[in-house]
């Protein structure tokens, strides 16, 4: 069975919610929709306080090349456009809407009928995806239409679909592949058309045999698409690792996947693309896993963007008494959040709760030079060295040791027996090296 | 609501810890310890206990009163240093010398560099080399194994098999004439020969090594390249002239090679970080061991070989980087 070659770890999988079907969460009383939920420039609000909006209506426009439109996720009245505290504790501008009924914008097909025939031209597809505010749903939230525009002089050969879900605990992609497989497959065909590629490969780790089986059965009516089961190994969902695992190509340092003829999208994105192109529906809801060892009912919810995280926790049986940490995302790359009233955004794939005793790090000891961090780094780096160099502010050496290749997968900090804060120090180093590099290029 | 902890990702960590690794190493030493207690009796037990207790004691004193920092004597590393030091000295060594060896190992080789993880040389080996230079007589008297003896005095001692062969060859004797003077291979393998406390049984040490490999405490690169290169270098000489150079199998099962290759050279603190670095280091150890054993002044070369290679580790680390992702661009 295929996998990537260099490094990798096996954190306990803990897919507690994998058998919980996707439930539609009740509409919240208000939603707070940040104007920046994507990588790139924030969108500009096009509504004002007091306006009535319909669900699916454009409320903020992404005007820069790397930006994304934002749409109302509920119908109601705009209460305010003001700073809120987002899930990472930063103040961010958001449009707050008070829910009134559930009225959708005209032209959005709300039926569940599967539409297979793709009538739009490649250019129209890209425009549509841009209009509907589709971003990478795996967590990186990079605007999707940008990835579908192949730069001059490059050629896409493969569309790689990430169904790996290598983060422990998370199951939103898994459930989507089981419950919306056909929509997802049409979405993949749409992306193939836009990219003008003949081949698409869906990579799925073999801890999801039901999803592999289910999609395989549907494949005969979707030519060009194949499914590849992958050996479970973290961080297989990293773009570079996934490409290596599926087509055995290595994206060179500092380059994008297109360099080796690949474009990578997440299964959630493929579903969102289907809805945008076939149903004219903007990205206003997503699947979010709510999980954790103390959570009463680990669940997968279909949630409107902007819903407070607290509402999801309520629906999953309430916030357990001894919760010590709440993470937006998976345990390896997710961000710890400060306030559960923060909203779900386009990049929220899961909410993970840790009990008090599991919330703090291991005690820190001297590095015993065991080389474990270096042997598991999927980028072939030496985390112990990068951490020391960054700590000593030797940023030029950091750059020479390829600190910018680090994908912040967290494996090094996970594996270190001495509990060294490796990734924390590497992040500081990356930040500084990034600054130096930008200054040099000016 | 209660306050939430906020820390950078990741939010899960392995169960593995420094002390778990160290106690794993100690557990793996049990077979070798049992064999030595069986052949050398009470004397071996006393040497081992003395070394462990003095290593803990010196580490405690230094951390508490000299450095005035945190005391970490129970992370297991000092116990390992003690046990390994005991394993590479003769069972008949006076206990006060064992104490001095421990002081050098912990004080000089470990704590002056900043403690666990900062030292360049393997502490136990430094202790042994210090003892060898300071007390050459006592360090070269190896008791003959007497099963389960409790006697501490009048131990019959004699040269180790390696010394028998080395001196014999030096005096112009043929290897084939010397072999009857050393124990049979079976005995060499089991440990029924003169030698240091815990070095004698290749089988017991191998068992411990396999345990460490399975438990992923050590990796295969260093032991394999070390032992492999010993076989190759010794084998080449043996093929050239089997009457002057003893066969590679003999090198494998005698002296401190097994213990050195599995426990001393693999000491994670003092060995290289990348796979190729480890392999180069192992080959260097193997090469130097054979050179010293055959051409050097001492019959045994493991301790010196590893210490010399320890000194090269920083160089090896900067010369042999792990394979970086994206380096080997295969477009298949
Ligand atoms: S894993 Fe931790 S202890 Fe081991 S070399 Fe890396 S930083 Fe040091
Ligand atoms: S976080 Fe960076 S340095 Fe650490 S293992 Fe992942 S890629 Fe390597």
Report d(CA A20, CA A178) in Å as an integer. 11
Ligand 1 atom at shortest distance from the alpha carbon of A372? 1
Name the A residues in 252-291 with CB < 8 Å from any B CB: 252-253, 255, 260
Cα–Cα distance for residue pair A409/A234, rounded to 1 Å: 8
All structural domains of chain B with their residue ranges: 18-139, 161-319
Interval A398-403 mean pLDDT: 93
- A231 with A132, same domain? yes
The model's pLDDT over A86-125, given as tens digits with 9 standing for 90+, comes to: 877 788 899 999 999 999 999 999 988 999 999 999 999 9
* Mean of the per-residue pLDDT values of chain B: 89
Q: Identify the three-state secondary structure at position A84.
A: strand
Q: Give residue B32's pLDDT.
A: 93
Ligand 2 atom 6, closest CA: A409
- Distance from A319 to chain B by nearest Cα, in Å? 10
| Ligand 2 centre distance from Cα of residue A177 (Å) | 29
Domain CATH code at residue A301: 3.40.50.11540
B331 vs A: CB within 8 A: yes
Q: How high is the pLDDT of residue B175?
A: 85
**Using a CB-CB distance cutoff of 8 angstroms, which residues of chain B are in contact with residue A359?**
5, 11
Please tell me if residue B115 touches chain A, with a CB cutoff of 8 Å: yes
Instruction: Search chain A and give the residue with CA nearest B268.
Output: A370
Asked whether residue A418 falls in the same domain as residue A295, the answer is no
Is residue A346 domain-shared with residue A389, that is, in the same domain? no
For chain A, the domain total comes to 2
- Residues B102-110 have a mean pLDDT of 95
Q: Which of A325, A362, A366 sits opposite B115 (nearest CB)?
A: A366
A362:B117 CB<8 A: no
Cis peptide upstream of residue B10 (ω within 30 degrees of 0): yes
Q: Which residues of B touch A11 (CB under 8 A)?
A: 10, 12, 14
Gap between the Cα atoms of A70 and A81, Å rounded:
13
Distance CA B177, CA A374 (A): 50
Decide if B13 and A368 are in contact by the 8 Å CB cutoff: no
Closest listed residue to residue A360, CA positions, set B87, B294, B71, B13 = B13
Give A234's contacts in chain B (Cβ within 8 Å). Answer: none
The answer to whether A314 contacts chain B (CB < 8 Å) is no
Q: Do A273 and A407 fall within a single domain?
A: no
Q: Ligand 1: which atom is nearest the Cα of residue A371?
A: 5
Q: Which of A166, A333, A379, A386 to mutate to test the pocket of ligand 2 (most atoms within 8 A of CB)?
A: A379
Q: What is the pTM for the complete model shown? A: 0.90
A150 plus A260 within the same structural domain: yes
A435 lines ligand 1 (CB under 6 A): no
Nearest CA to A89 out of A351, A347, A339 is that of A339
Q: How many beta carbons lie within 10 A of that of residue B294, not counting itself? A: 19
Q: Which of A360, A385, A403 corresponds to the end of one domain?
A: A360
d(CA A241, CA A243): 6
Instruction: Please state, rounded to an integer, the average pLDDT across all residues of chain A.
Output: 93
Shared domain for A378 and A351, answered yes or no, is no
A222 within a domain of the structure (yes/no): yes
Residue A223 covered by a domain: yes
Give residue A345's domain range. 1-22+110-360
Residue located nearest, by CA, to atom 2 of ligand 2: A406
Number of Cβ pairs < 8 A linking chain A and chain B? 175
Q: Is A15 on the interface with B (CB under 8 A)?
A: no
Same domain for A152 and A261, yes or no, is yes
Same domain, A252 and A298: yes
Contact (CB<8Å) A338/B21: no
Contact B332 A413 (CB under 8 A): no
- pLDDT 10s digits, A5-36: 899 999 999 999 999 999 999 999 999 999 98
CA angle (A433 as vertex; A11, A362 as ends), nearest 5:
30
Closest CA to A158 of A130, A198, A120: A198
User: Quick check: A335 contacting B, CB < 8 Å?
Assistant: yes
Do A168 and A303 share a domain, yes or no? yes
Residue from A157, A251, A366, A415 to probe the interface with B (highest B Cβ count within 10 Å):
A366
DSSP state of A222: S
Question: How far does residue B216's CA lie from ligand 2's centre (Å)?
Answer: 20
A318 contact B CB<8A = no
What integer is the mean pLDDT of A210-232?
95
Interface check B318 vs A, CB under 8 A: no
Closest residue in A to B216 (Cα) is A372
What is the phi/psi pair of residue B99, to 5°? -65, -45
Atom 8 of ligand 2, nearest CA residue: A377
Q: Is A103 in the pocket of ligand 1 (CB under 6 A)?
A: no
Q: What is the pLDDT of residue B331?
A: 46
CA–centroid distance, residue A370 to ligand 2 (Å): 16
ipTM reported for the complex, 2 dp: 0.88
Are the Cβ atoms of A368 and B274 closer than 8 angstroms? no
- What six digits make up the tokens of A372? 């474990």
Residues A386 and A322 in one domain: no
Residue closest by Cα to atom 8 of ligand 1: A367
Q: For A366-381, what is the mean pLDDT?
A: 94
Please report which confidence band the pLDDT of residue B156 belongs to, taking 50, 70 and 90 as the band edges: low
Q: How far is A251 from chain B (nearest CA, A)?
A: 6
Residue of B nearest to A425 (CA): B8
Rounded to whole angstroms, how far apart are CA atoms A100 and A50?
A: 13
Check whether residue A239 and residue A356 sit in a common domain.
Answer: yes
Mean local confidence (pLDDT), B36-59? 93
Query: Which atom of ligand 2 lies closest to the CA of A373?
Result: 5
pLDDT tens digits, residue range B2-19?
578 888 889 999 988 999
Chain B partners of A413 at a C-beta cutoff of 8 Å?
10, 13
Please identify, by atom number, the ligand 2 atom nearest to the C-alpha of residue A411: 5
Confidence check: pLDDT of B307 > 90: yes
Establish if A214 touches chain B: CB-CB under 8 angstroms: no
Q: Of A335, A360, A385, which residue sits at a domain end?
A: A360
> Residue B318: pLDDT band by 50, 70, 90 thresholds?
very high
A342 part of contact set with chain B, CB < 8 Å: no
Contact call for A250 and B2, based on CB within 8 A: no
Q: Tell me how far the alpha carbon of residue A335 lies from the centroid of ligand 2, in angstroms.
A: 16
The mean per-residue pLDDT over the stretch A331-340 comes to: 91
Q: How far apart are CA A311 and CA A87, in angstroms?
A: 14
| Closest C-alpha to B176, from B246, B251, B114 | B246
State which of A426, A427, A430, A431 you would mutate to test the pocket of ligand 2, scoring each by most atoms of that ligand within 8 A of its C-beta. A426
d(CA A263, CA A192): 10
* Distance in angstroms (rounded) separating the CA atoms of residues A139 and A169: 15
* pLDDT score at B40: 87
Range with the lowest mean pLDDT among A308-322, B93-107, B185-199, B209-223? B185-199
Q: Which residues of A touch B67 (CB under 8 A)?
A: none
Cβ(A364) to ligand 1 under 6 A?
A: no
For residue A350, being part of any structural domain is answered with: yes
> Is the predicted pLDDT of residue B149 greater than 60, yes or no?
no
Q: Residue B275: its chain A contacts at CB < 8 A?
A: 375
Considering the domain architecture, whether residues A311 and A377 belong to the same structural domain is answered as no
Is the pLDDT at B254 greater than 90? The verdict is: no
Q: Would A93 be classed as within a structural domain? A: no
Under 8 Å between Cβ of A310 and A341: yes
Residue B30's pLDDT is 95
Q: Do B18 and A247 touch (CB under 8 A)?
A: no
Task: Give me the phi and psi of B196, to 5 degrees please.
Answer: -70, 165
């Amino acid at each position: 069975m295929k996998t990537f070659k260099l490094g990798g770890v096996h954190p306990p999988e803990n897919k507690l919610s994998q058998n919980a079907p996707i439930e539609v969460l009740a509409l919240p009383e208000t939603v707070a929709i940040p104007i920046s939920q994507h990588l790139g420039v924030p969108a500009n609000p096009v509504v004002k306080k007091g306006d009535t909006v319909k669900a699916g209506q454009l409320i903020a426009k992404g005007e820069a090349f790397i930006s994304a439109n934002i749409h109302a996720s509920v119908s109601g009245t705009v209460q305010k456009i003001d700073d809120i505290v987002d899930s990472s504790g930063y103040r961010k501008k958001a449009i707050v809407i008070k829910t009134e009924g559930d009225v959708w914008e005209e032209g959005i097909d709300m039926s569940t009928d599967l539409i297979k025939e793709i009538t739009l031209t490649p250019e129209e597809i890209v425009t549509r995806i841009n209009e509907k505010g589709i971003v990478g749903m795996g967590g990186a939230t990079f605007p999707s239409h940008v990835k579908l525009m192949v730069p001059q002089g490059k050629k896409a050969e493969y569309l790689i679909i990430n169904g790996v879900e290598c983060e422990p605990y998370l199951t939103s992609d898994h459930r989507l592949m089981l419950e919306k497989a056909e929509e997802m497959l049409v979405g993949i065909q749409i992306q193939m058309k836009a990219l003008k590629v003949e081949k698409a490969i869906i990579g799925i780790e073999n801890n999801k045999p039901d999803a592999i089986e289910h999609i395989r059965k549907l494949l005969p009516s979707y030519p060009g698409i194949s499914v590849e089961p992958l050996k479970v190994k973290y961080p297989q969902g990293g773009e570079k690792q996934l490409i290596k695992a599926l087509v055995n190509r290595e994206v060179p340092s500092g380059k994008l996947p297109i360099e080796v003829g690949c474009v990578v999208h997440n299964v959630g994105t493929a579903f969102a693309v289907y809805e945008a192109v076939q149903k004219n529906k903007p990205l206003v809801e997503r699947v979010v896993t709510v999980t954790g060892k103390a959570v009463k009912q680990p669940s997968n919810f279909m949630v409107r963007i902007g819903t407070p995280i607290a509402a999801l926790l309520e629906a999953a049986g309430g916030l357990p008494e001894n919760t010590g940490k709440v993470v937006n995302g998976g345990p390896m790359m997710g961000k710890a959040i400060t306030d559960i009233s923060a909203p779900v955004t386009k990049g929220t794939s899961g909410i993970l709760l840790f009990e008090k005793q599991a919330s703090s790090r291991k005690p820190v000891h001297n590095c015993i030079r065991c080389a474990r961090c270096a042997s598991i780094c999927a980028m072939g780096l030496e985390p112990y060295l990068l951490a020391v160099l960054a700590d000593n502010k030797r940023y030029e050496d950091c750059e020479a040791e390829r600190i910018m290749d680090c994908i912040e997968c967290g494996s090094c900090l996970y594996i270190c027996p001495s509990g060294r804060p490796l990734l924390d120090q590497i992040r500081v180093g990356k930040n500084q090296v990034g600054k130096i590099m930008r200054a040099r290029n000016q | 609501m209660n306050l939430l902890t906020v820390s950078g990702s990741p939010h899960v960590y392995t169960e593995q810890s420094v002390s778990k690794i160290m106690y794993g190493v100690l557990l793996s030493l049990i077979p070798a310890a049992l064999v030595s207690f069986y052949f050398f009796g009470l004397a071996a037990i006393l040497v081992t206990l003395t070394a462990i207790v003095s290593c803990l004691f010196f580490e405690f004193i230094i951390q508490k009163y000299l450095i005035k920092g945190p005391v970490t004597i129970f992370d297991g590393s000092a116990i390992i240093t003690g046990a390994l030091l005991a394993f590479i000295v003769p069972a008949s060594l006076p206990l006060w010398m064992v104490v001095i060896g421990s002081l050098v190992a912990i004080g000089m080789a470990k704590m002056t560099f900043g403690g666990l993880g900062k030292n360049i040389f393997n502490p136990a080996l430094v202790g042994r080399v210090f003892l060898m230079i300071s007390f050459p007589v006592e360090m070269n008297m190896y008791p003959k194994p007497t099963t389960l003896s409790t006697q501490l005095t009048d131990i019959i001692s004699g040269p180790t098999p390696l010394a028998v062969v080395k001196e014999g060859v030096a005096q112009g004797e043929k290897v084939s004439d010397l072999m009857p003077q050393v124990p049979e291979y079976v005995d060499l393998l089991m440990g029924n020969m003169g030698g240091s406390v815990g070095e004698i049984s290749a089988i017991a040490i191998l068992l411990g090594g396999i345990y460490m490999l399975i438990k992923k405490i050590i990796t295969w690169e260093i032991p394999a390249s070390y032992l492999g290169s010993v076989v190759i270098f010794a084998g080449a000489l043996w093929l050239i002239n089997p009457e002057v150079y003893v066969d590679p199998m003999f090198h494998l099962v005698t002296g401190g090679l097994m213990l050195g290759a599995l426990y001393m050279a693999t000491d994670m603190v003092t060995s290289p970080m990348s796979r190729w670095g480890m392999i180069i280091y192992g080959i260097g150890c193997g090469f130097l061991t054979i050179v010293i054993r055959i051409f050097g002044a001492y019959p045994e070369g493991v301790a010196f070989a590893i210490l010399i290679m320890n000194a090269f580790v920083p160089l090896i680390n900067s010369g042999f980087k792990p394979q970086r992702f994206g380096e080997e661009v295969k477009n298949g």
